[in-house]
Structures are given as C-alpha cells and as structure tokens.
Amino acid sequence: MALKHLIFFTLLSILAISSFADTESSTTTDSGLVLNFYKDSCPQAEDIIREQVGLLYKRHKNTAFSWLRNIFHDCAVERCDASLLLDSTRRQLSEKETDRSFGLRNFRYLEEIKEAVERECPGVVSCADILVLSGRDGIVAVGGPYIPLKTGRRDGRKSRADILEQYLPDHNESMTVVLERFKSIGIDTPGVVALLGSHSVGRTHCVKLVHRLYPEVDPAPNPGHVEHMLHKCPDAIPDPKAVQYVRNDRGTPMKLDNNYYRNILDNKGLLLVDYQLAVDKRTKPYVKKMAKNQDYFFKQFARAITILTENNPLTGNEGEIRQQCNVANKHH
C-alpha cells in the first residue's frame, strides 16, 4: 500500500491555474450551483477540506480511491445530495449496506472532515459539498487533474437504497446499458470512457472477479494476467471479508493515469466492463485516443466529473445542512 511521497499541497495552486475544466469563478449553472459558494459564509471551507484530505491521505493512502468512488455512488443515483452517507434506520436501509455498494469504505474519515469544517463554520457547509470536494482533492492526490467544482448543494433526508439498481450500472452489464445510464444524466460516450479510467487506481476484490476465473477461465483476458488473477484469487468462493484483491493497474496502482487504457487494449482489464470498453466499436476509438494522450483523458475526465457532480442537486431552501453526515437532522 505504500506510495512514494506524493506532494500535492504545494502543487494544488499550480494545478488550479492549468485546470482542465472550462469554468469561470463567477458563473452559475442551471443546477443552481456556483463556484466559491461559501466565500462569504465560510471562506475557509475549501481550504479546510483540502487540508484534511491531505492529512488523511498521508495516513491512509486508499482514502483517495474511496472519495472518488463516493462521487459516482452518490451523484449517479438520482441526485448529488449525500444520501450515500446516511446510516440505516428502522425504516430505511442505507445505500452503504447494499450489494451494489460492496467495497465502499472510509466513511468515518468524511465525518472527520465534517467535524473540522463544523468547528470553523457550524451548520453552513453541506455533507454533499464535502463529499464532492473531498473527491476532487482525492483525484489530485493520486495525480489527476485539479477540477474547479461548483458548490451550494444541500443534503437529502432519505436513503435511495431501493432504487440504486435503476441508476448504477453494474460491472457485468452490457456496454449499451452502461452508456444509456450515463447518457440519462448528460454524460456522453467519451465522458463514460474517461470516468471508467478511475479503474486506473485502487483494487478489485476477488468477489467481483471469480466469475471470470471459475469454473472455467474467461478466454478474453491476457493469459499472463489470468495467471496473476488466479494467484491473487485462489478460491472460487472467496470470503467477502477477507483481504483478497487484485490491483486494478499493476504498473501504476496508486496513480490516476492513462495506463489503464493501454492495459485494457492489451486485454489486462479485470472487470467485464473493462474488456467491453476496449472492444465495443462505440468506445474503442476513445480508449485508443486516451491511451495515447493523457491530456485528452484528463480533459474528458474533468468534464464528466463536473457533469456528474452537478446532477440534479438540492439547492436554496431544499433539503438541509446535516449536523452529522451519517444522520438526517430530524433523527437527532
């Protein structure tokens, strides 16, 4: 898990200047969000979040992957309102506890960030914005582009565990389904290809891979890669709680880069969706372009993340500003 020293505090301001997202600091969007929403009500909010992300990343490298995944799992399900973070109640199952959220973790660290922000500005900054901004800063921590993201989201009051399947594409679904799910929130094909570049970092649990290995090996993956997968996943029915996983990218496992695309073109993707991305005629041209041009990958990735984080947010007087990210205020 160790990663050679990643300096991103000092680079953040430099990366911001050469951002890949085309936005202006004073502009608003149809979503009702705006850059620097807290400039008057809590001017230190984004700096506090950035500092906390940096401190937590130094202690726990895998937090960056978690924060990036949080954006997808929260914002792709109807709206970006931190419903993902809510704990189960007697009446509602938490999204965190569904099968589709398998592997999501490190939520307690978001609470640490929330507590730090609350000490400075009680009751001002939403958990939805903290989720998005921690994801943005996590992207920078693993070598990705700095993306100026708008803020002003408010928090939802209920879990959407009952409708997750309608919104989140599974890694075993057809590329048609994957493209259609993202298209419904305004993300086009190159945007989808770029978002799946998130598979460049982190790891995949053997639970998600064994169907490609047992009872018979899927003939599609590179034979050498299959050997590695079998070594890491020796059990046909792995224990979900066991530390059995395969790095998504054996070359640069802790870095968000375009090596993922070169891997899948060489049939070294882990998940079925990785394989499909490299062979489907709708996505393959973009895979090849991103494999050759990391700037193009980052530009499309930043654009897709921006669209995703602006998906149907609660703003104005809608929703609430939670006191704790895992509990809606009415339950206090």
Mark whether 73 is an active-site residue.
yes
Q: Determine which one of 5, 60, 73, 171 is catalytic.
A: 73
Q: What is the pLDDT of residue 206?
A: 86
Kindly report, residue by residue over 217-242, the tens digit of the pLDDT.
989 888 988 899 899 999 988 888 78
Predicted confidence at residue 172, as pLDDT, reads: 82
Fold classification of 44-202+248-310 is: Peroxidase; domain 1 (1.10.520)
Tens of pLDDT along the chain (332 residues) come to 444 443 333 333 333 334 444 433 334 456 789 999 999 999 999 999 999 999 988 888 777 778 888 999 999 999 999 999 999 888 888 888 877 766 666 788 899 999 999 999 999 999 999 999 999 999 999 999 999 999 999 999 999 989 988 898 888 889 999 999 999 999 999 999 999 999 988 888 888 888 899 999 989 888 988 899 899 999 988 888 787 888 888 888 889 999 999 999 999 998 999 999 999 999 999 999 999 999 999 999 999 999 999 999 999 999 999 999 999 997 54
- 83 labelled ligand-binding: yes
- To the question of whether residue 169 is assigned a binding role by annotation, the answer is yes
Structure tokens, 206:
């053997």
**Other CB atoms closer than 10 Å to residue 114's CB: what's the count?**
25
Residue 95 annotated as part of some ligand binding site: yes
Q: Where are the alpha helices (DSSP H) in 9-90?
A: 9-17, 45-59, 63-75
- Encoded tokens for 141: 């921590």
What is the four-CA torsion angle of 135, 187, 177, 158, rounded to 10 degrees?
50
Q: Given this model, what pLDDT does residue 98 score?
A: 78
